[in-house]
Amino acid sequence: MLGGVGIPPRSPRHSVTSCRRTRCGRIRTLVTEVPAGRIEQCTLGHLLCSGPGDGDGTLSCASQVRAGRGPKCPVCRRSLSSTSIRALSAEQSIAILPAKCCHCSSSVARGSLRTHEAACPRALVMCAAKDDGGCRWTGPREDQDTHEATCIYGKVEAPWTHTQVQVLTLHLEPYVRTLNP
């Protein structure tokens, strides 16, 4: 529960913040999930999510409030300072909260969730030979090495490098001349 809002988080990954103008022109903010990343505060300590959006082109709540005419805190209506005030204690408190990995359901700290999910052994990955119409295998990261060791689309490595072939050719050239006079 953040800022007294009694709504439990739906997802451990992203905050869903609704910043909308009401009929009287005020911006209403509703946090329905625990925010991830950077958090700002007004001069009285009211929190605003300011982390980047989900990549869908939406702005953070703090950015939307600042973009409006006469940016004011959505809670106390005081003017926001021109430079943001970072709420480090809120960020650090949220970073140590438990969260579940979406791949293996193990409990990890929110601050290390993205790192864990990027390396999670149960995350679905594709075969390295997927390029150029190759292998279409998709499976857990923990099975990737086993699959790629037996994949028929796997890249065949030449036993000799270009430099090794050049050196061998230089050494064999005198012998080849004696065989073909």
Looking up residue 58, the CATH number of its domain turns out to be 3.30.40
Looking at the structure, do residues 92 and 45 belong to the same domain, yes or no?
yes
Range(s) of the domain holding residue 147:
124-179
Q: Give a yes or no: residue 168 inside a domain.
A: yes
Q: Give a yes or no: residue 85 inside a domain.
A: yes
Q: Give a yes or no: residue 107 inside a domain.
A: no
Helix (H) or strand (E) holding 101: none
Quote the number of domains for the chain. Answer: 2
Looking at the structure, do residues 168 and 130 belong to the same domain, yes or no?
yes
pTM for this model (two decimals): 0.56
Q: Give a yes or no: residue 11 inside a domain.
A: no
Terminal alpha carbon distance of the chain: 89
pLDDT at position 159 is: 56
Distance CA 143, CA 117 (A): 16
Q: Give a yes or no: residue 135 inside a domain.
A: yes
User: What is the pLDDT tens value at each position of the chain, 181 positions in all?
Assistant: 344 343 334 344 444 444 554 455 555 555 566 777 788 999 999 888 886 655 556 677 778 787 776 788 888 888 888 888 999 999 999 999 999 999 999 999 999 999 999 999 999 999 988 886 788 999 999 999 999 888 888 755 555 566 666 676 777 777 767 766 5
Q: Give a yes or no: residue 93 inside a domain.
A: yes
Question: Of the residues 55, 81, 97, which one is the last residue of a structural domain?
Answer: 97
Helix (H) or strand (E) holding 27: strand 27-31
pLDDT at position 160 is: 58
Q: 63: Cβ–Cβ under 8 A, 6 or more apart, which residues?
A: 50
Distance CA 14, CA 37 (A): 9
Q: Which amino acid is present at 4?
A: G
Looking at the structure, do residues 132 and 171 belong to the same domain, yes or no?
yes
